[in-house]
A and B are shown apart, each in its own frame.
Chain A
């Protein structure tokens, strides 16, 4: 097949990009080479629209061992231990084929983590679906949940936390973001940088098939009516093989045979081989006829672009081939020496001894396009004039019941009970809390992890929204007693070619950067997913933040369920009554405009750090941050989980009860302390200039506002616990 501009465009390249290729190569590429360029230069692999702005993120810190640029980020958790973690999107494939799309998303991110030598110890996920009225939503949700469970459960890695949202902007573009954490010894971390020439390049894992060809290019395009035709570009996962691959790799990694290792993820053999060569400033030579194939007559083009799962590329020390082969034979996995490193700085491909491609590595990587896309700033929307009249016909209990069963805050047990969240025997905080927590096996330490997004806030004002998610992640970690260390981000947006969407991206990133810098909460890994749009309709900007923190003594972990009658409940942080963009205003008043709540980073940091000190002194019985649904939602959930009621005090504030209880002002926590510690805690909070209010005392089995306004905890449970289960069984 001869190559020309038309063929290049069919590969997803732009005309000027094709021109650039010809100029850099000083010739026309052949079809295999064109395929390689299209795989390396698409948005998904090259970050061509985002690179410029991602530089704004803080990526270093005292605890950072490895920032972005490797398979995953790595942080120090002391005693020679490190945590490897990353979040990644698998949005497009999951919309086309929810089970396999979600499953391979989970498989891919776990591979990124164990490629670095870490045993995965926890999975998380953030999934976004269209409106619950949309007829596709139920099937997509069911398929995605089955897929995530199907892969993670089989791997024997607990899924410890997650987040699920529904919004009509995802009707034609769901989001499936998967995160994995792995544990590794600091001196046994493996990287993808090749070193030394003439070293054997090894292929291990599953055989290569025709699945997933051009998967990364698909992820870099918008959807149209013909989306169903893209099904063959979705990869098919085999968690069993991946489990074997995990064990085999870790067995090989225990020795000293590996120079560099890289999993074959997006753009398969192409990106893995090129990345290893590029990082080592080397060349690489591959004999494609030696690649184990599962289908006959696969062409070099197909072998290079296949996204078959569960495969790894390894550069070995010379002479260690037999030792390595023995391990992979034991685990019944394919093993083949397919090439070697060279000093040519070219990637050279051969098929039956005939050269089929030769490209200088730097052209593919350093010379890949980078765009400074046009973008538009989002103005801070005007505040809505919400007046008392709007509340006239509302009764607080009715509103509370309605909000408790809102799809975005209701209990998600139907989902997480389908995930094995207890395998490995170290899960000490299950899904449903502020963060998931796993013990560091055999030690006193524990790791807390959480995923958050606030698409509504980001949509209303991207900069504030970006800051907010970082703060929310920080708060969720602190609420379980963890010291926040670092984050990973998955940036899901519409088309970067549209000024509006690009603007959302730029400003969200700037917001994330500002908060992450202020809180010393660096970004150590991440992923960008653009083109989340169908027929010109983009999703709400949805950056997802995965936060990780350390609990030095897991006996000090905090949970959110109220503990004992008679205890005093305080709210840290000031309730100002900001109702715009709150769940209350959007769903009860049906008002979708207005600014999101403001973020005050000084207060955020001060309150969070003060709360951690109180936890350290064993003064906190339970804690929960105030988020979606406001103060009363937080209190209700703590009552429901603890099966204890509360007698609320009449707020001293001038706000109406709706503003007081449903506003979503940021930087607030609800905490439970014993009566006898009230004075001590109050003094400590005052000394640290933390604003707080005493809002009630735990008592009985109901939520008590006043003698006329009482609701039993059992009733609250019914509203909160049953919605999703009922919806899915209808």
Chain B
């Protein structure tokens, strides 16, 4: 399986994502934001970080990068595009995903483990994972997902929510909402389910000595789904 990770100026989880993808069998290439052409890929990843220093609005400048036109075309033709953290913010800015990511409710950066409930197991990213709740890791300042009531209805009607923040037993409530996101939404898909944006970083959970191993479950499943 071929994957591509885009490096923007200010990306800082690009290496971590490269390590994770390779660990689980992807043949990964790093792609520079200023390139025009995307290498042949089965999966394109927009990694976390602070592209363009988060200036203007998180993800907004990166969404106008040269390579992004190719990424958008790739997504529109059904290719798998996954944005993690800042990558999610970029996807929202391109319009590939609905809504916006606002500053965290308590106005503070949060770095910690969280639990997420898988909502939709029909998409290529999470289908076949036999657990309902995964332990993931978040590290962000602007992960407070917001959208209009109309958008929310559409997202829910189309089963576009990928994961919700929840308790370890899968309870979705305000107490387990780390950043104020609408309905505890931690990650969403586009209508066609080929584009995923999520705040948690599965690439930081790929070894028992790190924050946890549920990221391994995610990547193993992902490559199997793509085969």
Contacts and interface: CB of A to CB of B under 8 A. Distances in A.
A330 B33 CA distance: 11
Interface centre among B12, B19, B20, B203 (most CB of A within 10 A): B12
A150 to B, nearest CB: 8
Interface string B1-32: 00000000110110110011000000000000
Contact of B12 (A146, A243, A418): A243
B52 interface: yes
Nearest to A442: B19
Interface in A417-475: 417-428, 430, 439
Contacts of A418: 108-111
Contact of A423 (B10, B16, B55, B108): B16
A154 B53 contact: yes
Contact of A417 (B52, B112, B209): B112
A154 B111 contact: no
Interface string B30-57: 0000100000000000001110111100
Contacts of B141: 153
Nearest to A427: B210
Contacts of B112: 417
Contacts of B20: 425
B49 A554 contact: no
Nearest to A240: B53
Interface string A227-257: 0000000000011110110000000000000
A422 B211 contact: yes
A155 interface: yes
Contacts of B53: 154, 238-241, 243
A156 interface: yes
B16 A424 contact: yes
Contacts of A155: 12
B49 A156 contact: yes
A422 B15 CA distance: 13
Given A153-B139, A154-B53, A428-B210, A423 B13 contact: yes
A240 B110 contact: no
B117 interface: no
Nearest to A154: B50
A300 interface: no
Contact of A156 (B12, B54, B203, B209): B12
B50 A240 contact: yes
A294 to B, nearest CB: 16
Contacts of A238: 53
B111 A419 contact: yes
Contacts of A420: 109, 111, 139
A243 B50 contact: yes
Interface centre among A238, A244, A418, A420 (most CB of B within 10 A): A420
Interface in B99-143: 108-112, 137, 139, 141
A229 B188 CA distance: 49
B111 A240 contact: no
A154 B54 contact: yes
A416 B201 CA distance: 18
Contacts of B54: 154, 240
Nearest to A150: B109
B108 A425 contact: no
Which size bracket describes the interface of A in this complex? 20 to 34
Nearest to A153: B109
Interface in A317-335: 330-332
Interface string B174-211: 00000000000000000000000000010110100111
Interface in A173-226: none
A127 to B, nearest CB: 16
A117 interface: no
A421 B55 contact: no
B156 to A, nearest CB: 30
Nearest to A413: B112
Given A154-B50, A332-B9, A422 B55 contact: no
Given A156-B49, A425-B204, A417 B12 contact: no
A423 B139 contact: yes
Contacts of B10: 154, 240, 243-244
Contacts of B55: 240
A421 B204 CA distance: 11
A149 interface: yes
A278 B211 CA distance: 47
Contacts of A146: 108-109
Nearest to B139: A420
A239 B141 CA distance: 15
B109 A422 contact: no
B210 A422 contact: yes
A554 B209 CA distance: 9
Contacts of B34: 330
Contacts of A428: 209-210
Nearest to B19: A425
A182 to B, nearest CB: 15
A513 B8 CA distance: 47
Contacts of B111: 153, 416-422
Interface string A482-494: 0000000000000
Contacts of A554: 209
A428 B212 CA distance: 10
Nearest to B13: A423
A549 to B, nearest CB: 17
A422 B108 contact: no
A332 B53 CA distance: 13
A150 B108 CA distance: 10
A425 B206 contact: yes
A338 to B, nearest CB: 24
Contacts of A417: 110-112
A679 B201 CA distance: 45
A96 to B, nearest CB: 22
B50 A425 contact: no
Nearest to A241: B53
A30 B13 CA distance: 50
B122 to A, nearest CB: 30
B128 to A, nearest CB: 25
Contacts of B48: 423
A239 B109 contact: no
A593 to B, nearest CB: 40
B209 to A, nearest CB: 5
Contacts of B13: 156, 423
Nearest to A333: B9
A331 B209 contact: no
B210 A425 contact: yes
A569 to B, nearest CB: 25
Contacts of A241: 53
B50 A149 contact: no
B38 to A, nearest CB: 19
A219 to B, nearest CB: 27
Contact of A422 (B9, B49, B50, B204): B204
A482 to B, nearest CB: 15
Interface centre among A416, A423, A430, A555 (most CB of B within 10 A): A423
A421 B137 CA distance: 11
Nearest to B110: A417
A301 to B, nearest CB: 30
Nearest to B209: A428
A141 to B, nearest CB: 12
Interface of B: 9-10, 12-13, 15-16, 19-20, 34, 48-50, 52-55, 108-112, 137, 139, 141, 201, 203-204, 206, 209-211
Task: Give me the 9 closest cross-chain CB pairs, A-B, nearest first.
Answer: A156-B12, A240-B53, A425-B16, A154-B50, A428-B209, A420-B139, A418-B109, A422-B204, A420-B111
6 contacts: A243-B9, A417-B111, A420-B109, A420-B139, A422-B211, A428-B210
Given A239-B50, A557-B209, 5 more contacts: A146-B108, A150-B109, A154-B12, A154-B50, A554-B209
